[in-house]
Structure 1
Amino acid sequence: MSNRKFQPAYGIDDTLGGRISLARDARDISVEEAAQTLGIEPVTWSDWENDRSEPLFDRLEMMASVLQVSVAWLADGRGTGPRWS
């Protein structure tokens, strides 16, 4: 039997939209609240979460700050991911 603790690897096999959604859930904020912080329409945020479109890099940087994750984690699942309270 192994003594290793289970450490989930959030985002490694996920999409950009999935990581955005996961990070937003970890922060416990709604799509509307998240969109408002970036100055965008909720439908735009929703499109990003559902992989219908992708944010430009400057929005990705702002989003990472709001969601308290690294840009690298949002982009490709590596780096500092969400922290669950």
Structure 2
Amino acid sequence: MADQGYGDDEATLGDRLTAAREGAGLSLDDLADKLGVRVEKLSEWEGDQDEPRAVYMGRLSGMLGVSLRWLMTGEGSGPSAGDALQAARAEAARLQQLLAEATQRLNRLEEILANG
């Protein structure tokens, strides 16, 4: 896990949860919605201010595509670099789509304003 900015001995549950969520290409809002928890609660988990109950640990493991063992201890199957790359590509595509839509809206507004 050194490629993620921290070593196995240094990573906390919150670190692993954040890495897995980002590797899955999910925002805090997305994952909170899927889990049925408040964004603030998920943020507390990622910030190591609180820990999820056991029932959420199992759900998180499945939703994020990592083993429960890795999520809890850092040993076993965690997020792969390929997953992170795929998530980055998907996010870039979403941003490009949003930019194209915003450009179209801006062009329509400029036309309206120019024609008074």
Q: TM-score, normalised by structure 2?
A: 0.63
Superposed CA RMSD in Å reads 1.7
Amino acid at match of 2:8: I
- 2:42 equivalent in structure 1: 45
In structure 1, runs of 5+ residues without a counterpart are 1-6
TM-score by length of 1: 0.85
Mapped to 1, the partners of 2:53 and 2:3 lie a distance apart of 25
Q: Percent identity?
A: 34
Please give the per-residue CA displacement for 1:26-83, whole angstroms capped at 9, x wherever unaligned.
1111000001111000000000000000001110000011100000000000111012
Closer, same or farther: CA 52–18 of 1 in aligned 2, 3 Å: same
- Greater share of helix: 2
Aligned position for 2:51: 54
Residue pairs, 1:1-85, within 5 angstroms: 8=2, 12-13=8-9, 14-83=11-80, 84=83, 85=86
Task: Tell which has more relative contact order, 1 or 2 (C-alpha 8 A, sep 6+).
Answer: 1
Max Rg structure: 2
Unaligned runs of at least 5 residues, structure 2: 87-116
